[in-house]
Amino acid sequence: MPGQLTNKVALVTGAASGIGRAVAQSFLAEGAKVVGFDRHESDVGTGHDAAYVGMVGDVRLAADNRRAVELAIQRFGQLDILVANAGIYDNRRRFLAFTPEELDTAFDELFGINVKGYMLAARTAADSLAKTHGCIIFTSSVSGSHAGFGGSLYVAAKHAVNGLTRQLALELAPEIRVNAVAPGFVPTNLGGLESLGQAPSNTGPSAADLPLQVIAAAQDYASAYVFLASEAATRMATGSVLELDGGAAARGPRR
Ligand code: NAD
């Protein structure tokens, strides 16, 4: 059913890669116009050139979030959907492997992107979203409600995202709906902690470890974002965290 987002304008953080890129592509295919905000140049490569504009910036900075919202208004006249998605991982680093000094820096890095970045995007977009009775969708994770799929920093940050989803659903209602999608493992470029020199990590379960026996592609999650942003979700969906993990949480993490 193409055209579910016709006349909608979306801002997607982390749109240069992985889940954010797949969401931007699906939104374009559904008729939306999209601003992609990432620290890297983004090109969603869908042939919807006039409907897509990329912006390079850092989600940790209020000024960059403001630039992104202003770009959406300038180019496309309004803002209906915010997808706060840009994130990094901690490569499951064990709590006791951090010195207190490393934890001090790594906390600021990971919470700065994965939590503060979401809050700044939501706060900056809120006034525009209220005008259009729009919505916010956060990318959470299976780590938003379960231990063992990340390290302590990542798991704590994603639990914070689920809390933020519920609190903002209350505070921003009835004008703005706020929901989250909680994916399981998907091989992307998900970066590690730069402050510790971690490389991106693509290691996760094998298909045989998962009840559905499938390793996701980023595109597998995009339809959930389309649904949450669409007309079909407007009457009832707010404060929900949609877990899509191939059964990973039902089975529990590997040791
Ligand atoms: P990805 O690295 O492919 O995409 C993340 C994007 O965020 C990148 O393009 C990166 O440049 C951007 N980004 C990172 N820091 C930024 C910053 N400070 N400012 C602006 N942009 C920044 O990884 P992904 O797997 O698509 O991750 C997207 C989201 O999905 C993250 O929130 C991640 O926690 C979540 N997630 C990923 C998985 C997985 O297994 N890959 C599972 C569950 C949830």
What residues does each domain of the chain span? 9-245
What confidence category does residue 1 fall into, taking pLDDT thresholds of 50, 70 and 90? low
Confidence check: pLDDT of 255 > 70: no
- pLDDT tens sequence across 41-100: 988 877 777 999 999 999 999 999 999 999 999 999 999 999 999 999 999 999 999 999
Rounded CA separation 107/114 (Å):
10
Structure confidence at residue 31 (pLDDT): 97
Within 10 A of 173 (CB to CB), how many other CB atoms are there? 12
Distances in Å between the Cα of 2 and the Cα atoms of 30, 93, 134, 225 are: 5, 42, 20, 14
Quick one: average pLDDT of 194-198? 95
Across the chain, mean pLDDT equals 95
pLDDT at 182: 98
Q: Which of 38, 61, 149, 244 to mutate to test the pocket of ligand 1 (most atoms within 8 A of CB)?
A: 38
Nearest to 161 by CA among 65, 85, 72: 85
Asked if residue 202 has pLDDT above 80, the reply is: no
Mutate to test the pocket of ligand 1, among 17, 140, 145 (most ligand atoms within 8 A of CB): 17
pLDDT band at 170 (very low <50, low <70, confident <90, very high): very high
What's the 81 CA to ligand 1 centre distance in angstroms?
Answer: 18
Portion of the chain with pLDDT greater than 90, in percent: 90
The pLDDT, as a whole number, for residue 86 is: 98
* C-alpha 150 to ligand 1 mean position (Å): 14
- What pTM was estimated for this model as a whole? 0.97
User: Would you state the pLDDT for residue 45?
Assistant: 78
Residue the block writes with tokens 């079909």: 232
What residue's CA is closest to ligand 1, atom 40? 185
Helix (H) or strand (E) holding 33: strand 33-38
Under CATH, what is the fold of the domain 9-245? Rossmann fold (3.40.50)
Condensed to tens digits (0 to 9), the pLDDT of residues 24-36 reads 999 999 999 999 9
Tell me, what's the pLDDT at 63? 98
Q: Is the pLDDT of residue 108 over 90?
A: yes
